[in-house]
Amino acid sequence: MASIDDSATVIRVRGLSKRFGTTVAVDALDLDVRPREVYGFLGPNGSGKSTTLRMLCGLLHPSSGEIEVLGHHLPKDAEGLKRHLGYMTQSFSLYRDLSVNENLTFLAAVHGLPRKRAHQRIEELLNRYWLAELRHQLAGTLSGGQKQRLALAGAVLHEPDLLLLDEPTSAVDPQSRREFWESLFELADAGTTILVSTHYMDEAERCTRLAILDRGRLVADDSPQRLMEALPGRPLLVECDRPRQAQQVLEGQPGVIALAQIGAALRMLVEDVEYENPLSERLRTAGIEARLVSGTANLEDVFVAATRQPRQSAGEAS
C-alpha cells in the first residue's frame, strides 16, 4: 500500500537505463524525488525525458536498474501504482469526439470512482479549471489552452499523489502556460508531488528542484538557485553584429567552457577573467568588432554548460 509522508521518497531510481537497439535513451540514471516537490526535467530533444517518464509510470520496461515509486517496485507493481498516479503528455490524450464532460466521466469510470463521487469531483474540476461553460463542447474543438486544462483535470481526477507531466505546455500560449503553472503550485500546496519535463527556462527556474538530462545522462541535479550559484566560470555577453561568426571563431578557444547564441545575443562562459583579453583579441584578428560584457549567471548558462561541455571536450563542434 502506498503511503506518503514528508520523510519518504516519492520516486527513487537507481542505475536506470533504457536501450532501443543501439540507442541508449536513458543511461544509468539515479533520481530521488521528495514529497510535494515540483521537480523539473530539463534537457535537449532526445535526451531521454519522455522515456524516463514512461518508465516511471510503468508504461515502458527498463533495460536495467531499479525504480520505486510511492513504495511500488516497477515494472512489477505498475498495476498497484496506477490509482496513485496521474500522467499527462504533450498530446493531451483526449477523446476528440467526446465532450468535455464525457471525457471526464469516462476517465472517472476508468478509475472506478463511484457515480456520486465522480459527479461531485467533475463539477469541482470543471469550475477549478474554467471549463464549466464548455462542458458540452467536443474536446476536438477546444483551443490549445482549453485542451490543456481538460487534460490536467483528467490527470488529477482521481486525486493522485504523484503527477507526471511530459512537456505539458509545449502546445499552448504564454498566458495559458502561466495559468497552468499556477495550477501546478496549487496542486503541490495541496500535497501532490509533481515531476514535469520542459524545454522552457522560465518554467525550469520555477521548479523546486531540477534535473538536467543530456543524451540519457543526468548532468545536473539541484535547486535552480544552487545550480546557478555553482556555475563554473564567468558568464559573458558578446556584443557584436555577427554573433554566429563570433561563435565559430570562439568555439574551442582556450578558456571557453560553453557558447550559445540566444536570439541575437551570444552568451559565453569562460573559465577565468584572464581569458577575456585574448578572446577579444582573437575576435579582432578575425575581423569581428565585439565587446565582452559581464553577465549574471542564469539557468540558460547552467543548461548550456551542463549539456555542451562533454561534446566540446570530445572535440565536436555544434
Ligand X SMILES: Nc1ncnc2c1ncn2[C@@H]1O[C@H](COP(=O)(O)OP(=O)(O)OP(=O)(O)O)[C@@H](O)[C@H]1O
Which of residues 4, 17, 46, 123 is near ligand X by CB under 6 A?
46
Cβ 51 vs Cβ 63: under 8 Å: no
* 99 or 197: CB nearest ligand X: 197
Which of residues 31, 33, 40, 43 is near ligand X by CB under 6 A?
43
* 150 or 211: CB nearest ligand X: 211
* 44 or 232: CB nearest ligand X: 44
Residue 307 binds ligand X, judged by CB under 6 A: no
Which of residues 38, 39, 51, 86 is near ligand X by CB under 6 A?
51
- Count residues contacting ligand X (CB under 6 A)? 11
> Phi-psi category of 98—alpha, beta or left, where left has phi over 0 and alpha has psi -120 to 50?
beta
Stretch that binds ligand X, among 5-13, 42-50, 235-243, 279-287 (CB under 6 A): 42-50
Residue 219 binds ligand X, judged by CB under 6 A: no
Q: Which residues neighbour 97 within 8 Å (Cβ) at sequence distance 6 or greater?
A: 138, 139, 140
Residue 168 binds ligand X, judged by CB under 6 A: no
What is the nearest approach in angstroms of ligand X to the Cβ of residue 13? Answer: 15
Residue 22 binds ligand X, judged by CB under 6 A: no
What is the nearest approach in angstroms of ligand X to the Cβ of residue 231? Answer: 23
- How far apart are the two ends of the chain, measured CA to CA in Å? 49
Rounded-to-integer distance, Cα 12 and Cα 215, Å: 21
Residue tagged 527498463 (cell numbers): 62
Cβ 256 vs Cβ 270: under 8 Å: yes
Stretch that binds ligand X, among 40-48, 188-196, 263-271, 299-307 (CB under 6 A): 40-48
Residue 23 binds ligand X, judged by CB under 6 A: yes
What is the nearest approach in angstroms of ligand X to the Cβ of residue 307? Answer: 11
Which of residues 12, 37, 42, 48 is near ligand X by CB under 6 A?
48
Rounded-to-integer distance, Cα 146 and Cα 139, Å: 9
Cβ 11 vs Cβ 162: under 8 Å: yes
Residue 49 binds ligand X, judged by CB under 6 A: yes
Residue 42 binds ligand X, judged by CB under 6 A: no
Which of residues 10, 11, 25, 81 is near ligand X by CB under 6 A?
25
Q: Which residues bind ligand X (CB under 6 A)?
A: 20, 23, 25, 43, 45-51
